[in-house]
Structure 1
Amino acid sequence: MTDASLLARIDRLESLDAIRQLPAKYSLALDMRDGDAWVNLFPEDVRVGGGKTGRKALRDWFDETHSMQFDGTSHHIGGHVIDFDDPDHAQGVVYSKNEHECGAEWVIMQMMYFDQYERIDGRWYFRRRLPLYWYATDLNKPPVGDRKMRWPGVPPYHGSFHDLFPSWKTYWARQGQPHDGPVEPPAPLEKFIETMRRGAPLPRPRVRS
């Protein structure tokens, strides 16, 4: 093994650890309502929406959203799959199980994020987080049935949890019949997420943390 190869492998391991800490830092800063710590997990030129960019605009959105909707939150990070596009860019899928105090209701949520990461000046950031929701409902109301996103005072809606990966619809389209095709070969290295997506477009879900 050459020195360059060894250094590249060490850099990959250090990058994996840094990227895995991003969702944990995101959750801690969000739950403790530290807007500065939260927005600093994104690049200085982060796109906020409505034509706005920058950490200040993102912090304004953070303050307004979380003061109006939630009395308190707790975000619990689950499995995290990471693929590298190159040494300074990566993408990932990470599960999150969340709890929200919303006035008289205690809303539990299951979701995942599709993330894009970028290393700038030696530090890893979220370039983008796309939230994909399975359900949100009061603790005492199981989210059985369609339109499982059930926030207080909001009509139920679909949360896009399965829309990133077409295998969900393909599986149910078989109506329980076994798959009669050959087993596909393993995904190439660093292409697990891309292989599972099979070219599916990115969903456009409604945004809630």
Structure 2
Amino acid sequence: MDQNSLVQRLDRLESIEEIRQLAGKYALSLDMRDLDAHVGLFAPDIRVGREKTGRQHLKAWVDDTLRWQFTGTSHHIGQHIIEFTDPDNAIGVVYSKNEHETGAEWVIMQMLYWDDYQRIDGRWYFRRRLPCYWYATDLNKPPIGDMKMRWPGRAPYPGTFHDLFPSWKSFWAGAPERDHLPEVAEPAPLEQFLQRMRGDTPPPKIRVR
């Protein structure tokens, strides 16, 4: 193994760990309402909405969202898959199981984030976080059936948990015939697992809570 290859592999391992730390720091800083620590995890020119950019706008948006909707939150991070598009850019999927104190109700949620990460001046940041929700409901009301996003005081609406990946609709489109074994595609290359699963599926429109 040549020296350049060893350096590249070490950089990849260190980058993976730093990116994983981003997800944990995101959850802790959000739940503890340290908004300066929170927005510092994002690129300085992070896009906020359609027309605004920068951490100040992001802080204002997060502050407004947390104050009017939640007394307290707890975000529990699950599996985290990371792939590099080049040495300074990566994508990832992070599962998150969340709890929210919302007035008189205790709302639980299952979701995932589709992330874009970027290394700027030697540090990794979120370039974008796309939240895709499966359900949100009161702890005592299992979200069976359609329209699984069930926030207090709002009409139920569908989440976007499965919308990034075309395999969900394909799986339920019809049962396969069992008179022969199914074809199996070759495993995806190391850095193309997520990209192959998603294909050319565009990002879904995320409904604001």
Q: Is TM (by shorter chain) over 0.5?
A: yes
Q: Could you tell me how far apart the structure 2 residues matched to 1:148 and 1:177 are?
A: 31
| TM-score normalised by structure 1 residue count | 0.96
Cα separation, partners in 2 of 1:176 and 1:101, compared to 1, 3 Å:
farther
Q: Is the 8 A contact 1:131 1:207 kept in 2?
A: no
| Larger mean Cα displacement after TM superposition, 29-38 or 198-207 | 198-207
Q: Deviation of residue 190 (structure 1)?
A: 0.3
Q: Could you tell me how far apart the structure 1 residues matched to 2:135 and 2:97 are?
A: 10
Q: Report Cα offsets for 1:156-185 as digits up to 9, x if no partner.
A: 111110000000000011246559641000
| TM-score normalised by structure 2 residue count | 0.96
Partner of 1:187: 188
Q: Could you tell me how far apart the structure 2 residues matched to 1:43 and 1:198 are?
A: 26
- Secondary structure at the residue paired with 1:67? helix
* 1:94 partner letter: V
Partner of 1:205: 206
Where in structure 1 do 4 or more consecutive aligned residues deviate above 2 Å?
175-181
Structure 2 gap segments, 5+ residues each? none
Please give the residue correspondences for 1:1-209 in structure 2 after superposition, counting only pairs within 5 Å: 1-175=1-175, 181-208=182-209
Q: Report Cα offsets for 1:31-60 as digits up to 9, x if no partner.
A: 000110000000110110141111011101
Q: Could you tell me how far apart the structure 2 residues matched to 1:176 and 1:153 are?
A: 42
Q: Report Cα offsets for 1:75-95 as digits up to 9, x if no partner.
A: 000000111000000000010
Q: Could you tell me how far apart the structure 2 residues matched to 1:99 and 1:87 are?
A: 35
- Secondary structure at the residue paired with 1:96? strand
Q: Percent identity?
A: 66
Cα separation, partners in 2 of 1:68 and 1:177, compared to 1, 3 Å:
farther
Cα separation, partners in 2 of 1:177 and 1:25, compared to 1, 3 Å:
farther
RMSD over aligned CA atoms reads 1.3
* 1:149 partner letter: M
Q: Could you tell me how far apart the structure 1 residues matched to 2:90 and 2:137 are?
A: 32
Structure 1 gap segments, 5+ residues each? none
Q: Report Cα offsets for 1:78-127 as digits up to 9, x if no partner.
A: 00011100000000001000000001000000000000000000000000
Q: Could you tell me how far apart the structure 2 residues matched to 1:82 and 1:23 are?
A: 11
Cα separation, partners in 2 of 1:183 and 1:89, compared to 1, 3 Å:
same
Q: Could you tell me how far apart the structure 1 residues matched to 2:50 and 2:119 are?
A: 25
Q: Could you tell me how far apart the structure 1 residues matched to 2:100 and 2:90 are?
A: 30
**Aligned pairs, number:** 208
